[in-house]
Structure 1
Amino acid sequence: MFKSESTKLRETAKNWLYHAGKVYHFRKDRLSDSDVSELLRRSEEVKAGMKDKSESSDNRLRSSIESLKEHMEQVGGNYYPRGSMAENVEFFFAALIIYVGFTTFFIKPFKIPTNSMWPSYYGMTGEVYADEDEKPNAIEKAFRFVAFGAKHYEVEAPASGELLIPMVKTGSGSYRLFERPANVKRYFVMNAPGVERVLYVGKESVSFKYPADFNMDRQVLLPLQEADEESPFDRLLERGSLNQNAFAGTANEVVYDPRSGRNVNVTVHLLRTGRQVEAGESLLSFDLMTGDQLFVDRMSYHFVSPKVGDGFVFKTDTIPSVAEDKFYIKRLVGTPGDRVKIEGTTLYVNGEPATGSVAFDKNSKMQDNYGGYTTMKGRGPLAVDLSTEQTVPERHFFAIGDNSHNSSDGRVWGYVPPDAVVGRPVMIYYPFTKRFGLAQ
C-alpha cells in the first residue's frame, strides 16, 4: 500500500517478462523464426521501459506491456493464457514435489497407531461414555475432533429386545467375537484397513466400523467390564467355557474369503447378555482418540550413530519375520555388539541397568503407568529370548516397545538391519494434549 504507482507498474512488467520467458523456452522450437524474433523484440521493449525513469516512461511501459501481452496470446499455446485450473494444478504438483523431497530427506510426519510405546507415546485410545450425561454435545464433539482428533461412535439398538453378541466357534471348541475386515475412511477420502463389528437385538442387527489398528476389546470393552457396568460385553470373560444354554440361536453373516475371492456365509452364535433394550437406545458410546503424531528427524543418523534410549523409527519391509511394509516406532535398546537382558522388570545393557531414557527407569520401578519389562518372545526362528543375555549382531540394532507386555518387537521378529533405519522422533505436534512438545 506504500508503493508508488510507478513501482507497482515495474513489478507488473517483471511478472510479464517471466511469462514471456516461459513461452520462449517452452515454445521456441514450435514457433516460426519471425514469431520468436517478435517475442524477443517486445520483451526487450518492456525491459527498456523498466529502466527508463523519465516522466513519460510509465505510459510507454504500459504500452509495451500490452504489446507483449497481445503477442503472447497469439503464440503462447498452452503456456499463455493459462486458466486458473492449470495454474492450481501446477502449484499443487510443485508443492507435492517439495513435500515429498522434504519428508524423504529431512523431517517426516509419523502417526502412532498402536499402544506398543504407551505411555511414552499414545496410539489410538478409546474413551467410553457409560452414562448418558457424560456424552459430548455437538459443540464438544467439534472441539474434541479439532483438538484431540476424537471421532465419536454411537451404536443404537435397531429394535426392542435382548441384546445378543455374535460369536464364532473355533476349532478348539471355544468362542471368539465375530468380526470381519472392512474399509474405513482415512482423512475422509482414502480407504484404510478396518474392522466391522456386529450387534444383534433379537433378529435385527446393527454394525459399526473402526480402524484395524485400534484394539476395541482392550480400549473399549474391557473398561466397561472393570467398571462393573451392565453392558453388551459383561459375559465375554466366560467365552472359553460357554455352553449352548448361553446362546439364543444362530444367524448367518457374510464374510469375504480372500482365498476363493468371493463372499461366503458364516454361522454366528448369538450370546445372551440378559440386557433388555428399547429401539433407539444407546448400546455403545465412545470416542476414538487419534494416536500421537510426531515429526521424525531423518537427517541425524547420517552424521551420528543411534544411541540406546532413542525413540527409533524404522521400516519393516526388510525384516523377514514382519512381512509388512510399514513404519514402526520402538525404543532402541541395543546397538551392534551390545549385550541385552531382562531380569524381573529391569532391562540390562552390557551388565548394567539401561540408561538413556526415562522409560528405562520408570519401567524398572513400574512408575507412572509403565508396566515393567517382560521377556515375552515369539516362536519364530528369529525371535530373541531376553531371559538370557543376547548380543546384538554387527550392523544390526535391537528395539522393543516401552509397553513391552503389549508390543510386537525385536523379541518376536529379531534385529533391525541398518538399511531399515529411518530416524528418531523429535516432537509430538498433535493432538494438543499435555504430551505436546519434544518427544521423550
Structure 2
Amino acid sequence: MILRWLLSPTVRQASNLHRHAQRIVNAQRDQLSPQAVEKVAAAIAAVRSAIASNADGKLLKERMADLERTTAKWIQPYAHASLRENTEVILVAVAVAVAVHTFFLKPFKIPTGSMQPTLYGIISENLLNEAAATFPTGLRRVIDLIWHGTSYIHKVAKAEGMLEAFEPPKTIFPFVSRQRIRIGSEWYAVWSSVDHLLERAEVEPHHLYHRGDDIIKLKLINGDHLFVDRLTYNFRRPRRGEIIVFETKGIISPTTGQPAMPQDQFYIKRLVAMGSEQVRIANDRHLIINERRLDHTTPHFENVYSFDPKQSPRPNQYSGHVNGFVARQLTEAAIAPLFPDESTVRTVRPNHYLVMGDNTLDSYDGRTWGDFSRTNVIGKYCFVYWPFSSRFGWAAR
C-alpha cells in the first residue's frame, strides 16, 4: 500500500482528495442535511475502497470524478473562496516568520560603534557647512543604499523661519522611522534609520533659516544588520570570546545603584568572563582571567589582540582592552571606572557574564556597569546580511 502510494501519482491524488472531502464534511456537518452527509460519505468510501483494493488507474479516476461531482452538488461552497485561501496562506507565512524570529533567527541592527572594527554601527557625516558637497541622484543613489547601505538626507528651507516644533520619530517599517520638523510655518518629513537625527544633523532651534538654506545635509552609513542565532544557546552555554546579544533590562550600575542604561534595549558585545571568574585588565591591554593572560592565541580573540604593542590605542581599531590608568593617558573621558588600574580585580557573580566591546576607547561596557545575569542573553552573532561589505556573511570573529 505504502509502496503504491509512493510510486503512483494517481493514488496520492486520490488520497489527498478523499481526506480533503472528509475535512469539509466534518467542518460543515452541522449545516448539511442527513442526505448530503450520506451521499458524500458514500463517495468518500468508494474512493477509499478503490485505493485499498488496488484498483487500476482508470477505476480510481472514475471514483475520484464521482466524489468531485458529489461534493460539488451537496457541499456548501465557501463565500469568497479565493480570499479565504489567500488569507490562510498569509497567516501561515506570518506564523512561520514569528516562529523563526522567536526560536531561530532574530534580525538586529548594530546601533553604535562599540564593536568596531569587527561590526560597524551607524556612521553619520554632517555636510551642512560644506556648500560644495553634492549627493548622488537616480540609479547611483539607489545602488549606494542597496549595496553599501549609504543613504542621504537633504532638506532645504522653503521659507524663512526657525525651528518651531518637532515630533518624536515614529517607526513605520522595521529599522525605518519618520520624523516631522517645523521650520517657521512649514512642516518637513524626514525618513531615516538612525536615532537622534536632529542632533546628528545639528539642527539649531534658534537659528534663522532663510529660503534656500540647507536645514539637514547628512550622509548616513547604516550600521551592520545581522541575524542573531537564538537556537544554539538552548543546547549549550555561551563560550568566552563569542559575540552575544543581550537585553539591558535589570542591568544596574554598581556605583550609583540606578539603571546603567535604558532598560528596553538590546546590546551586542564580546563575552570575556563567566560566573565566579576573577578579572583584571593589565596595562599591556590584555585581560587576565583567573591569573591567565588572554592573547591572540585565545579562541575568538585573534583580532582583538592583534595590535602592535608599540602603538597607542586608537578608536575604531583593535587595541586590546584598556583600563582606567591607560585611558587617562589618552583621554579625559571616564573609561573603565570599575577597572581603574591593573591591580584592580573584579569577580563576576555566579550565573552572570562580563562583556566588553572591541572598540575599547569608545565602548560603554562591563568596565563601567559590571556584569549581568546570563538570563539576559538572547543569542549569539550569526551573520551579517546587509550591507554587502567586507563583513557580509560569517566574516566577523
TM-score (structure 2 length as normaliser): 0.73
Give me the whole-angstrom Cα distance separating, in 2, the residues matched to 1:404 and 1:375.
9
2:316 to 365, 369, 376: 369
Q: What is the percent sequence identity of the aligned residues?
A: 25
Q: Is the 2:227–2:381 contact (alpha carbons within 8 Å) kept by the matching residues of 1?
A: yes
Q: Is the 2:281–2:339 contact (alpha carbons within 8 Å) kept by the matching residues of 1?
A: no
Amino acid at match of 2:393: G
Residue aligning to 1:73: 76
Q: Report deviation, 1:315.
A: 1.7
Q: Is the 2:303–2:318 contact (alpha carbons within 8 Å) kept by the matching residues of 1?
A: no
Amino acid at match of 2:357: G
Give me the whole-angstrom Cα distance separating, in 1, the residues matched to 2:322 and 2:179.
29
Q: Is the 1:310–1:357 contact (alpha carbons within 8 Å) kept by the matching residues of 2?
A: no
* CA deviation map 1:376-420 (0-9, x unaligned): 7999xxx84453221111110011222243333323333121211
User: Any idea what SS the aligned residue of 1:123 has?
Assistant: coil
Give me the whole-angstrom Cα distance separating, in 2, the residues matched to 1:413 and 1:359.
24
Give me the whole-angstrom Cα distance separating, in 1, the residues matched to 2:80 and 2:187.
52
Q: Is the 2:115–2:358 contact (alpha carbons within 8 Å) kept by the matching residues of 1?
A: yes
User: Any idea what SS the aligned residue of 1:360 has?
Assistant: coil
Verify: 1:357 aligned to 2:301, yes or no.
Answer: yes
Give me the whole-angstrom Cα distance separating, in 2, the residues matched to 1:120 and 1:215.
24
Give me the whole-angstrom Cα distance separating, in 1, the residues matched to 2:68 and 2:101.
41
Unaligned runs of 5+ in 2: 1-7, 253-258, 328-332
1:335–1:56 CA distance, 2 compared to 1 (3 A): closer
Amino acid at match of 1:65: E
Give me the whole-angstrom Cα distance separating, in 2, the residues matched to 1:414 and 1:357.
20
2:382 to 426, 429, 435: 426
Q: Report deviation, 1:422.
A: 1.5
Q: Is the 1:150–1:287 contact (alpha carbons within 8 Å) kept by the matching residues of 2?
A: yes
Give me the whole-angstrom Cα distance separating, in 1, the residues matched to 2:318 and 2:380.
23
Residue aligning to 1:397: 353
Give me the whole-angstrom Cα distance separating, in 1, the residues matched to 2:108 and 2:98.
14
Residue aligning to 2:142: 142
Q: Is the 2:135–2:152 contact (alpha carbons within 8 Å) kept by the matching residues of 1?
A: no
Q: Is the 2:46–2:63 contact (alpha carbons within 8 Å) kept by the matching residues of 1?
A: no
1:187–1:19 CA distance, 2 compared to 1 (3 A): same
- Tell which deviates more after alignment, 125-134 or 80-89: 125-134
Verify: 1:187 aligned to 2:119, yes or no.
Answer: no
1:90–1:123 CA distance, 2 compared to 1 (3 A): same
Residue aligning to 1:308: 240
1:120 to 111, 118, 121: 118
Residue aligning to 1:339: 278
Amino acid at match of 2:123: T
Amino acid at match of 1:435: R
Verify: 1:214 aligned to 2:170, yes or no.
Answer: no
Residue aligning to 1:154: 154
1:73–1:180 CA distance, 2 compared to 1 (3 A): same
1:149–1:368 CA distance, 2 compared to 1 (3 A): same
Give me the whole-angstrom Cα distance separating, in 2, the residues matched to 1:278 and 1:102.
51
Give me the whole-angstrom Cα distance separating, in 1, the residues matched to 2:179 and 2:358.
26
Q: Is the 2:246–2:377 contact (alpha carbons within 8 Å) kept by the matching residues of 1?
A: yes
Residue aligning to 2:45: 44
Task: Report the count of equivalent residues.
Answer: 358
Q: Report deviation, 1:45.
A: 3.0
Q: Is the 2:32–2:75 contact (alpha carbons within 8 Å) kept by the matching residues of 1?
A: no
Residue aligning to 2:255: none
After superposition, where does 1:23-102 map in structure 2 within 5 Å?
A: 23-28=24-29, 31=32, 33-48=34-49, 52-53=55-56, 55=58, 58-59=61-62, 61-73=64-76, 80=78, 83-102=81-100
